[in-house]
């Protein structure tokens, strides 16, 4: 067995990345609930993405703050409803890719530990345990829960520590957001880029996707041939 563990990114890897269009619809729904004009809100929302990814402030509180900055008073009921809109969006976005469950099942059956490292907000932390992927994953390191994100070396070391494996015995698989592949390689993992042919990359969260010269696959099931 070449690798003791396979560690996956989540969005764009185990689940589809959501498109800019889907994200725009979601943000407009959110703004309608909050009673704010989308243009101003989305600007502030984008500027505060780091705080959400690092879990620095509860999202409901942050949404209230952003609304106040725009001169809009929101009720607790509106904020609760807005959180529901966010959780619903995230639950929909966590639908596994067609070959994800089978690939993870086969990797586990072959004796590999399975990890996930995701840069995500608190809704993913809440929704994760109910996904079909969660029972197949030994350790999920979610940025909003641990207060660190890729490509911070500590986030990879934390995954290894929890999995009880050495970085050199890990294969890291991701679509290249957050400079995650060079981050994984920097701590001694093997890293492989996944890019499905139908994945055109018009996403909101691959803005800093890297130019990767290393190994590439186009479907999760190809990982089975690399381990």
Q: Phi and psi of 193, rounded to 5°?
A: -85, 135
Q: Which C-beta is closer to Mg ion: that of 64 or that of 176? A: 176
CB of 203 to Mg ion, least distance (A): 8
Taking residues 118 to 157 in sequence order and writing x for each that binds Mg ion by CB under 5 A, - otherwise, the string is: ----------------------------------------
Q: Tell me which of 3, 8, 11, 41 binds Mg ion, using CB under 5 A.
A: 11
Q: Which is nearer to Mg ion, 4 or 180 (CB)?
A: 180
**Selected range binding Mg ion among 11-19, 151-159, 165-173, 184-192, rule: CB under 5 A:** 11-19
The answer to whether the CB of 223 falls within 8 A of the CB of 34 is no
Query: Is the Cβ–Cβ distance between 86 and 60 less than 8 Å?
Result: no
Q: How far is the CB of 190 from Mg ion (least distance, A)?
A: 18
Half-sphere exposure of 5 (CA within 13 A, CB side): 28
Query: For Mg ion, which is the closer residue by CB, 8 or 41?
Result: 8
Provide the 3-class DSSP secondary structure of residue 34. helix
Name the minimum Å distance from CB 215 to Mg ion.
16
Establish if 16 lies at the interface with Mg ion (CB under 5 A). Answer: no
Return the range that interacts with Mg ion (CB under 5 A); candidates 4-12, 44-52, 96-104, 162-170.
Answer: 4-12
- The smaller minimum CB distance to Mg ion, of residues 55 and 177, is found at 177
Q: Does 12 bind Mg ion (CB under 5 A)?
A: yes
Question: Quick one: which of 175, 190, 199, 203 contacts Mg ion (CB under 5 A)?
Answer: 175
Classify residue 221 as exposed, middle or buried by CB count within 10 Å of its CB (0-12, 13-18, 19+): middle
d(CA 63, CA 33): 11
Q: Determine the Cα–Cα distance for residues 136 and 108; give it in Å rounded to an integer.
A: 8
Q: Which residue is nearest to Mg ion (CB)?
A: 12
d(CA 226, CA 224): 6
Nearer to Mg ion, 175 or 199 (CB): 175
Strands (E), the chain: 5-8, 113-118, 139-142, 170-174, 190-194, 215-217
Tell me, by CB under 5 A, how many residues bind Mg ion. Answer: 5
177: contact with Mg ion by CB under 5 A? yes
Cα(142)–Cα(100) distance, rounded to whole angstroms? 18
Interface with Mg ion by CB under 5 A: which residues?
Answer: 9, 11-12, 175, 177
């Amino acid at each position: 067995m070449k690798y003791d563990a396979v560690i996956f990114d989540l969005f764009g890897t185990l689940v589809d990345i959501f498109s800019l269009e889907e994200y725009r619809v979601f943000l407009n729904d959110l703004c309608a609930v909050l009673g704010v004009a989308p243009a101003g809100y989305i600007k502030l929302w984008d500027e505060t993405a780091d705080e959400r990814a690092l879990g620095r402030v509860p999202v409901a509180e942050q949404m209230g703050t952003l609304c106040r900055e725009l001169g809009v008073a929101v009720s607790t009921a509106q904020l609760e409803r807005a959180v529901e809109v966010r959780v619903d969006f995230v639950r929909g976005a966590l639908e596994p890719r067609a070959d994800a469950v089978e690939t993870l099942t086969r990797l586990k059956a072959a004796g590999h530990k399975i990890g996930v490292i995701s840069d995500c907000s608190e809704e993913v932390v809440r929704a994760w345990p109910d996904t079909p992927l969660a029972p197949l994953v030994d350790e999920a390191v979610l940025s909003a829960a641990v207060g660190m994100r890729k490509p911070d070396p500590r986030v990879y070391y934390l995954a290894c520590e929890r999995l009880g494996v050495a970085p050199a015995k890990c294969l890291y698989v991701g679509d290249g957001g957050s400079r995650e592949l060079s981050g994984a390689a920097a701590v001694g993992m093997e890293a492989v880029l996944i890019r499905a042919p139908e994945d055109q990359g018009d996403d909101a969260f691959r803005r800093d996707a890297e130019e990767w010269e290393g190994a590439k696959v186009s479907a999760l099931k190809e990982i089975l041939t690399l381990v």
